[in-house]
Amino acid sequence: AEVQKYPVYVDSVSYGAYAEGETVTLTPESREGYRFVRYTSNEVTISAQNTFTMPAMTVNITSVYVAVFEVYVDNVLLGQYAERETVNIDAGTKESYTFNYWSSTSQIVFANPQSARTTFSMIAETVHITSNWTANFWTVTISDSYGYDNTYTVTKGQSFTLQHGNRAENYGFTQWIITTGTATGDLTQDTAVIYPTSNCEIRAGWEKLGDYSVTYTGYTHAKTWHFEGDTVTVQAPAKD
């Protein structure tokens, strides 16, 4: 005899016909912007694995979905979450930086905005979150006499040694000049040890010694620089 089969409808759409006692497996469909939650039915009990045993009757099933919204952390997609769902965020670690706080342009409330690991309750819109960090170092940019910039990182609280390159021999070093930022130390030394207290830009100061040189020979060999019209005093070295 032919086995009698009974129809199954999911959201009023035919899902086939099955014999009494047969195991029916349901497969949720993908819906953009929604997450499947569960199936419900007045005729059968549906397991967590979305299966049920077919009875000798027509079965009507309703699929339940919930709207989900995207969460971005530092412009990277974290995931999709339903309204009022608890979202966990973790800033992790960042070399040479200390985590400071979380911020967002969305109307969310962080459980602890100063903690690298925290949570918030999802709202019914896309959420953008930014992790804010404090650098454990200062940057020191040195402009050399030829207009080239070299940037260095200095751990906060540590010293940094300034050393200038050579300029034309008719120029003399005057002192180091901090153009932006702050630092402590004796800036009058050719080789100066400083302690940056912010990001700073520094250049070596130079003065022109003259346009013309006088070279001395004898027991000593030296050169001095002078401008036109300078009075030059020459003193012979003493001989033994």
The Cβ-side half-sphere exposure at 237, using a 13 Å CA radius, reads 9
Please tell me the total number of residues recorded for the chain in this structure: 240
Residue ranges in the chain whose pLDDT is less than 50: none
Q: Rounded mean pLDDT of the chain?
A: 92
Cα–Cα distance between 225 and 235 in angstroms, integer? 16
Cα–Cα distance between 51 and 89 in angstroms, integer? 34
The Cβ-side half-sphere exposure at 140, using a 13 Å CA radius, reads 27
pLDDT in tens, 134-170: 999 999 999 876 666 889 999 999 999 998 877 778 8
Cα–Cα distance between 215 and 22 in angstroms, integer? 111
Position 218 scores a pLDDT of: 64
Cα–Cα distance between 7 and 20 in angstroms, integer? 11
Give the distance, in angstroms, between the CA of residue 20 and the centroid of all CA atoms in the same chain: 60
| pTM of the predicted structure, to 2 decimals | 0.69
- DSSP notation for 88-123: EEE----TTEEEEEEEESSS--BS-TTSSEEEEE--
